[in-house]
Structure 1
Amino acid sequence: MSRKSTYCFIINGASNAERAVDAFRKYEAEIIKEVPDAHIVYVKKGESIKEQAREMAQKFSHIIACGGDGTVHLVANGMMDSEAVLGVIPIGSGNDFARQLGLNGSVKQAIETLFTGKLKTVDVIQFDDNYVLNTLGFGVDGLTNYYANRSKLKTGALRYFHGGLKALFRARPFEIALEFDEMDTVIHQRSWMVTLANGNREGGRYVISPRSRNDDGILEVLVVKDIAKWRLFYEFIKLSVGIAFNPDVVDTYSIQTGGALKSSRRVKTHADGEQIAAKNICTFHLLKSKISVICVS
């Protein structure tokens, strides 16, 4: 006999400049109508979303992350290795992971998908003790996220653009040593940024790795070369309107296992839009078909 589906909705009170709660409340009655016994958890700023997700994943069959990519990241990290299924209601500022599930940003569509969608398993990047669903970024990528998260601008696109401009003015390139488990050579290079891409975009509209898919068993590793800063600005402006990096400014490696990254100094780092502690040495692994998610049929 199949287990009855039970739903827990976790809303990040700090998501989207603290506007996610108001966005969710507009649809709360509709959700209760569909799922009368739904459990709704409003997580206040400063409280642990990860711990809430870990606890709820032992009680409910479906854990629904309500917020942006950072919220999805924290919920997924809490429920990892449980039998629970991940769902998403995209009410954050970026919602890049949600787009890969076929969600277009409509809360109504996302709610309908919870009950009419299909299940699929997606790959996950394991980085030390973090699990990353979309992207893991170092250097300019991490610094852009750092400033975007502190911006007072209203929309996610504007915050990310503003953060990117500040990052470009203040960033410095750094030396890296990159090695992959499936290759014998160590890549030594000077770079502005390194991004591990399990998904194809960041910041809502920045198509950073066009061929990346989260269910193909392949991880793209992007290394932006030590190009002139004016060229870096130009490439960033292109990204902001949905045009990917020109191939001559980035080296892209497609791998199926994992590797290690060493840097000459600690640089700002983000995991799915969440700032994490910077390290000089880190290891990463691609975990294939690691977590079940609800996507558009």
Structure 2
Amino acid sequence: MLDGVAYRMLGRVADAEDVVQEAWLRWAAADHTQVREPRGYLVRVTTRLAIDRLRQVQSRREAYIGSWLPEPVVTGPGPAAQAPDGAERAVLAESVSLAVLVVLESLSPLERAVFVLREAFGFPYAEIAGTLERNEAAVRQLAGRARQHVAERKPRFEVDPALRRELTERFLKAAADGDVRGLVSVLAPDARLVSDSGGAAKAPRRVVVGADRISRFLAAVAPEGMRDPASGVRFLELNGGPAVLLTVGGRPDTVFSLEVAGGQVRTVHLIRNPAKLAHLAGAGEWSGLTGRLLL
């Protein structure tokens, strides 16, 4: 749960792991006889540390080259005994999606903390108020503003996992074949391609808009990388939805994650920043933050 709170607050694996590690060190040094509720104590410390870290990295993100996207994390499959199901899993999956995390970037640190604790994890307002050292009325105001902000900017999602998987497979095949018509057939006319390379790999630094432009770009660049004998393609669940991981020489090279609504791909997230993909080298192994239960 602490991993889930920290990651949703920060959108970066290394920062989330650092925050949880620091929270655990503070727990180890605490006088446990004075802690009435260990869970509440750890959530409080983790949230406050995440707020501090978020304030520190905001300037770093303002200087980022090109679009900034959260680091993708593996969210399934995991240990069945731990996994939530039904409505709970749907809420948690949406709150960790790349699209929602991008929207959360536009909230203030306090608004983001309230939204994560309330909307994703269902903490009572009184407990959130104690965590943030604010009165409950102020917390409710923060929650209302954050909820409205996210609702206004959050894209619609296709909830049928089978359809999302089918569209992802069709998208991948068309990209690998350099099939412009095939790509256009799965993309919404006003689809967007948002790429994140941090200037460390080849990728558009501006958002590409329109099914035709996206299709021609992908048809021109994707086949070469996907047909390289040293490359491999894997389907996996990232941030609550189906995604494609392209590896080259055994190293993560590219992640494609699609937003789907109305039976069409609305947004293509293309992540190529090596620093954001290194932790996926063991994707499929249940270890580290990428394997802990974020859903």
Which is richer in strand?
Answer: 1
Q: Tell me the TM-score normalised to structure 1 length.
A: 0.30
Which is richer in helix?
Answer: 2
Q: Tell me the TM-score normalised to structure 2 length.
A: 0.30
